[in-house]
Every structure is written in structure tokens, then in C-alpha cells.
Structure 1
Amino acid sequence: MGNGMNKVLPGLYVGNYRDSKDANQLAKHNITHILAIHDSAKRIHSDKHYLCVMASDSPDQNLTQYFSICNDFIHAARLREGNVLIHCLAGMSRSVTVAVAYIMSVTNLNWKEALKVVRAGRAVANPNLGFQKQLQDFEATRLAKERRRLKERYPSLALVNIDREQCSLMLNNYEELLQSRSICEGRCALGEECPTGICRSKNQNPAAHQPRSRRQSRSTRSRSEMCRSPSGTSAASTSTRPRSGPAGLRSYTGSAPPSRTSSRVDISSIGVSGNLTAPTTPQTSPPISPKRRGTVAVPLALKEDDFDL
């Protein structure tokens, strides 16, 4: 995770939080756009175009609701010959999930193949099980519609052949890396050293190295939580169900373009910075006025035409 950002497609990189702050890396790879997706995502570099998504790295965090807006941000930047960095904190789960969803949407690959493309470029890529399930569901229920939407909005074919060739190359590289044990699919045997560290949490039981009293207190706490549950089941039994999100993104915080006077959000004048937040509880307060400095109000139910990319 400390070897810097990694290229997964022409103009598309995946990295961690440290990479996003490294001005030398950003300059080396000519990064013009940054998609930050983590708990405290915010703009860091004033000369970069940002899309910030507030999301936790937990299996019940609903990332699917952000796939379309992230696809628009990435694809519009690449079509204009920009280079995009997607990052979370470790560059393993949230950022990888967004990259996989994008690759699925602009190619004919399924989610497992798209994940191999990312892993061929970034060996530590490993979305949590909840995010993998969301990618699987996205492929089964929404992918065809998202592909049609992107083709209608961005009719340019400038990236089609480039992406197809690059994905084919990355898939071949993936098989070679797998054979040479330079990469892992998360199935290393117990006690076997994992080449990428993906299997570390599976092969090493942290509880085995904890004091007996600590293990007992944790066990007691788990039983008490189960007893407090209204349904009589533990929280773990529902942890993989995606948290429901709002019908539309509630707010986009950033600097409004000077030529805009309405509440529409222009994230494509390629001078963009903002935060997308998904509150888990309904908002009872009135929407923020668009006249307030530094804030642009967004309709509760966004439409495609509300974004000019």
C-alpha cells in the first residue's frame, strides 16, 4: 500500500490517502482530477478538480448509489484527456469498488473480470465482501441500463478501443502474476504466506494473541449485544445488507461556478470541488439556500440533466 498510486486504465489511477497528498506523485502522473471516497473526504489541492464522496469502509455502506455520478466524473475527465486518481484511505476497498464499477460500465467485462484488471495494476485491491456483493447486484440489475446511459451521454468512441486493448493486456498480466504468486485471490492456505497480505486477516487470528481476560470480555459483550437486539439475532447477521440511502444526493458542497445562478450543479466545467454525503437518517431541516456562500443546493431526486459533464 506504500508503493504509490497504480495505473489501471489509461488516465485512471487508484491509490491511497497518502498518494492523494503527494504533490510529486500527482505531478509525475499528470493527475488533474481526484475522486476521494472515505469518511472525511475533502479537497486538498486547489489546482485539482475534486469529487468527494463521504462513505465508510463497512459492508453495509451503500456505494451503488454513487456509481453513476462517479462514472460521469471519471469518464468526462478521461475524454478531455485528464488523468483521474481514485483514492480512499488504504486504496484497497472503497476506491477499488468505484474503479471496478466504472470499468464494468465502459467495457463488456463482468465484475470479477473488472476486479482482475484493477488487481493486475494494484495487487492489494480487495473490496470487502459487502462491496463485492453490491458489484454483483449492480451487474445483475443495473449494469445494462448504466452502459446505455453512458453511451447516450458520451457518444464519443475515443476510449473504446484503448480500454479494450488495455483490459485484455491487464487480464493477461493478471494470469501471469497469479502463476508467479505475485498476486493473490484471497485463497492462501492457513499458515501460508500471502504475497500481497490480502489473506493476512484470514490466516492470522488476532484473538489468539489477546489476553484471556480480553477475549472473555469481548465474548461477553457479543452475547449481551445479542440479547439487546430486538429480533434476538446478532448485528453480524445483518451486516452485509447495504445501508439504504436517500432517493437523491442531498447536497454538493463547494464553490459554485460564477456563471451559475440556479440550483443545478455543474461538475464538469472541469473546475470542480465538492462533497457528496448520504445521511442514513431522513433530513427534517429545510434544504440549504443556494445563496449561502460556498454551497450549492441539489434537488432531492437528481436527474441526469442536472449534471453537465
Structure 2
Amino acid sequence: MGNGMNKVLPGLYVGNYRDSKDSSQLAKHNITHILSIHDTAKKIHSDKHYLCIMAADTPDQNLTQYFSLCNDFIHAARLRDGNVLIHCLAGMSRSVTVAVAYIMSVTNLNWKEALKVVRAGRAVANPNLGFQSQLQDFELTRLIEERRRLKERYPSRALISKDQEQCALMLNNYEELLQSRSICEGRCAMGEECPTGVCRNPTQQRRSRRRNSQRSQSEMSRSPSVTSTTSTGSTSSTRPRSGPAGLRSYTGSAPPSRTGSKADISKLGATLTAPSTPQSSPPVSPKRLGGRISVPKPLKEDESDS
């Protein structure tokens, strides 16, 4: 587990960025659709259907706004016998959060049970605390409506029995793996060796914080007035964490639930530049008349100079 992409439901896999580029793996699992969600998500394989979402692995990143769109992309592909790969960079946090939200939406599992299903297939699955909070909030406030929406939009019941059987099997496997310490829930004590590598020791945490700090400084040093555009349409501009501008592209069977993304501007190859500073006109010297300041009126054509 964790070596390559991992199956969590029939037709649904979770992996990392390396897996998404590995043509042999994609062919082995007959991947037809790829949901890419990370900081520089973009289409790589021309023969695959893509949903690309730019999102950071930080607790304040709003992923809930994309759950319905991701559910449509995944569910429509699976109903047409397609196989979907969800990936981020490490296949631990962002991709797992999207997979958990989907499993909650198409089954009767709560977010903790759905996370166990994913962890049983991919031991390193461990969304950050912000994403876990978003999943809990999604369960309490929007899950019932999302389940109803999916049933109305996709009346087919072809996947229900297979998903229920797979989830029951994965939950049983999860308990066995937990007892044998082949998996963990992300709560290993500092200094204790984690069986899956999810829990980091203090040295690894310091290195991670240093890398994140250097990355943030590098992003802040970039000029905000210029947006670099590659041949594939990806940009390096910084976007708000909670805004829908993280949606980059959509090429799949299900239509997107949002339109008018700010990211569409970048596909035109436009470069944003700061407006030139207008030059001010020379000041007019006022004449002092009777102790009051006034601006001289322009002479008419029929008036001679005094």
C-alpha cells in the first residue's frame, strides 16, 4: 500500500503526482479520468478526461466548494464504466479529502467511516486538520442535500450494491490492519516510529516547516503585476484560498457546476501589467488679487493683451 495508486472503490483510485504521470500504471488500471488537485494542477495526458483544481495543502484552503463538482466528475465516469484517479502531490491530504467526500455522498457512511475506507486501501491517507474539519462540517450541513442531488441527477442504481460490499470489506480490513499496527490514525507519539510514516518525528517536522517557509518566501518575492503563462495554460499567480478561481479546467462527461472561473483569463495568454503612471501637467501660478488667490481666466479671441 502506498506503492503506486491504490483502489478504494470499484473504478476509483487515489495516488500521488508520480502515479498520474506513469503511463504504465494508468494503462494497468485502465484509468480514463484524472482528477488533479494541487498547487499546479494541469492536464498531462491528451487521451484522458481531466478535472484540474488548483488548491494548497493548508488548513485554510476551502475544498468544500469543489465537492459537488468533483462528485459529478467521478460519479459520471464510474457509471460509464470508467476508472478515475484522484491525485494530489503526495496522495495523502487533498486527494484523500475529495475521495472521502465522494464516498460519503454515494453511501450511508459518515466522514470518519469513509476515511477508514480510504485508509484501508491507502495507509498513508491523512488529511490535514483543516480538511478534516471541513469534512465534518460537510456531513452536518450539506451531506443530506448532496446525496439527494446526486440521486436526482444520476438515477441509476448500478453502483450501489458494489459500493456497499466494497465499503464493508474495507472497514473490516481497516480494523485488522489497525490491530496488527500495519496502519495508523495519525496519532503516533513524538519520537515513536509510525508504521506508515504518516506521523513525523521532530526532525522531519522542522524540515517540513523550513521547506514551507522557503516556498512561501519564494512566492511572495514574485511580482504581483505579471502572470507567467505556459504553453498548457498554467499560471503562477497567487489566488485566494477560499475563492473558486482554483478551478482550472474541466474535460469530462459531467458538466461543471460552476461557470465563469477567473482562471479562464489565463488561457487566453494574457499578461497582466500595471498601468503606466500619467504625467501631471505643470502647475498654474496663481495671481494674488486683493489678498485673495484666484486662477486667471483664459482670454477670449476678441480681447487684446493688456
Using structure 2 for the length normalisation, give the TM-score.
Answer: 0.71
- Find the counterpart in structure 1 of residue 253 from structure 2: 268
Amino acid at match of 1:186: G
- Find the counterpart in structure 1 of residue 111 from structure 2: 111
What's the secondary structure of 1:184's corresponding residue?
coil
- What's the CA shift string for 1:125-158, capped at 9, x where partnerless? 0000100000000001000000000000000000
- Find the counterpart in structure 1 of residue 243 from structure 2: 245
Residue 192 of structure 1, CA deviation: 2.0
> Gaps (5+ residues) in structure 1?
219-241, 256-266, 280-286, 295-309
- Find the counterpart in structure 1 of residue 302 from structure 2: none
Residue 269 of structure 1, CA deviation: 7.1
Task: Say yes or no: does 1:204 pair with 2:189.
Answer: no
CA distance change for structure 1 residues 277 and 181 in 2, over 3 Å: closer, same or farther?
A: farther
CA distance change for structure 1 residues 133 and 276 in 2, over 3 Å: closer, same or farther?
A: farther
CA distance change for structure 1 residues 58 and 152 in 2, over 3 Å: closer, same or farther?
A: same
- Find the counterpart in structure 2 of residue 143 from structure 1: 143
Amino acid at match of 1:204: P
Separation in 2 of the partners of 1:4 and 1:130? 26
- Find the counterpart in structure 1 of residue 219 from structure 2: none
CA distance change for structure 1 residues 157 and 197 in 2, over 3 Å: closer, same or farther?
A: same
Task: Say yes or no: does 1:75 pair with 2:60.
Answer: no
- 1:147-296 equivalences under 5 Å are 147-200=147-200, 203-205=201-203, 243-246=241-244, 253=249, 267-268=252-253
- What's the CA shift string for 1:166-185, capped at 9, x where partnerless? 00000000000000000001
Separation in 2 of the partners of 1:276 and 1:38? 20
- Find the counterpart in structure 2 of residue 299 from structure 1: none
Amino acid at match of 1:30: N
> Gaps (5+ residues) in structure 2?
214-239, 270-306
Amino acid at match of 1:48: K
Amino acid at match of 1:5: M
CA distance change for structure 1 residues 199 and 152 in 2, over 3 Å: closer, same or farther?
A: same
- What's the CA shift string for 1:92-142, capped at 9, x where partnerless? 000000000000000000000000000000000000010000000000100
Separation in 2 of the partners of 1:134 and 1:196? 24
- Find the counterpart in structure 1 of residue 134 from structure 2: 134
Amino acid at match of 1:174: Y
CA contact (8 A) 2:96 2:127 kept: yes
CA contact (8 A) 1:53 1:276 kept: no
CA contact (8 A) 1:54 1:278 kept: no
Structure of larger gyration radius = 2
Amino acid at match of 2:181: R
Amino acid at match of 1:120: A
- Find the counterpart in structure 2 of residue 63 from structure 1: 63
- What's the CA shift string for 1:51-79, capped at 9, x where partnerless? 10011111111000000000000000000
Identity value in percent: 80
Amino acid at match of 1:140: L
Residue 204 of structure 1, CA deviation: 2.2
Separation in 2 of the partners of 1:278 and 1:60? 20
What's the secondary structure of 2:32's corresponding residue?
strand
Separation in 2 of the partners of 1:208 and 1:92? 19
- 1:8-23 equivalences under 5 Å are 8-23=8-23
What's the secondary structure of 1:31's corresponding residue?
coil
Alpha-carbon RMSD: 3.1
Runs of 4+ in 1 over 3 A off after TM superposition: 205-209, 249-255, 275-279
CA distance change for structure 1 residues 194 and 148 in 2, over 3 Å: closer, same or farther?
A: same
CA distance change for structure 1 residues 110 and 2 in 2, over 3 Å: closer, same or farther?
A: closer
CA contact (8 A) 2:76 2:254 kept: no
Using structure 1 for the length normalisation, give the TM-score.
Answer: 0.70
